[in-house]
Amino acid sequence: MREKEAFFEFYKANSLMTRINYLTTMLALLFVLFASTATAQTYDIGDYAGRPGVGTGTSVVPKNKLLWETGMEYNHTKKHGYQDGLWTLNNSKLRYGLSTYAEVFADISYFLGEVDDHHANGFGPLALGTTIRVLEENGIIPTTVFITKLLLPTGAKEFRKEEVAPAFHISFSYSLSDRLSVTNDVGFDWDGTHPKPITLESLSFSYTCTPRFGLYAESYNYFRKHDRPDYNAGLGCTYKLNKQIFFDLLGVIDLNKNDNQFGISFGLCWFLNNK
């Protein structure tokens, strides 16, 4: 009974947009439960998982297939004597294959923690985008994809973008051996406030130890004109439960001398209609 009362208190206390976001997420979760009960396995989730890491991979979901990527994350920052902790209680990304070479996706997160020295919680902006593969790996030519994304001015005020914020990325991947692959992602991300974009450059390595277990390492850096560069590194592991479900664990640190920042994330990828 108390849980029921708490739910309605939460519902009444939040804005219409937050209610819509909350109900949309609940409907998506219900869809997951129904979709996952009536499917068989054909495609290998290890070939299509977009987690872990900041950089965007080069996989494209097969035509008419739906892949769900979800997880949670904690980031801790200590600057000038102040400490902030921010939880991403859930990040959910739905990817749908339009063809052999193209997919569309929707991405949203729910945050809880300290923002600008005060407590805040709520949904972040909804992101909509597409991934298009333009080259397949062939000899010295890497697999190449273009990614475009729009962050809409939705969500809680502490996390909402002031305007629509676009992002454009190009990602390359290449197999160094049967077990080791490398991916390079270069992109331009606008934050909806500043006219100049943030440039992201990431380089990651994936190593398959066994058919189920793998290791992951990444260097990712942010650059913007007139701002100090932001250097980061991450190390993690992956575990493939079966052809349909894939788990990941990742730890990251900030390499800037004057910062004391770290983060940890855990998540999974799940083919919802793999047949």
Q: What is the DSSP letter of 192?
A: S
Q: Which residue has the higher pLDDT, 4 or 267?
A: 267
Question: Own/partner pairs for 81-90, CB < 8 Å, 24+ apart?
Answer: 82/117, 84/113, 84/114, 84/115, 84/117, 85/113, 85/114, 86/111, 86/112, 86/113, 86/114, 86/115, 87/111, 87/112, 87/113, 88/265, 90/25
Q: Are 120 and 88 in contact (CB under 8 A)?
A: no
Structural domains of the chain ordered from first start: 2-271 (2.40.160.40)
How do residues 7-50 score in pLDDT, each as one tens digit? 444 444 455 444 445 444 544 444 444 444 444 447 899 999 99
Q: Is 35 helix (H, G, I), strand (E, B) or coil?
A: helix
- Which pLDDT tens digit goes with each residue over 105-122? 999 999 998 777 778 899
3-state secondary structure 75-138: EEEEECCEEEEEEEEEEEEEEEECCCCEEEEEEEEEEEEEECCEEEEEECCCEEEEEEEEECCE
Residue 82, pLDDT > 60, answer: no
- Which tokens go with 163? 């305007």
Could you give the CA distance from residue 48 to residue 62 in angstroms, rounded to a whole number? Answer: 9
State pTM to two decimals.
Answer: 0.82
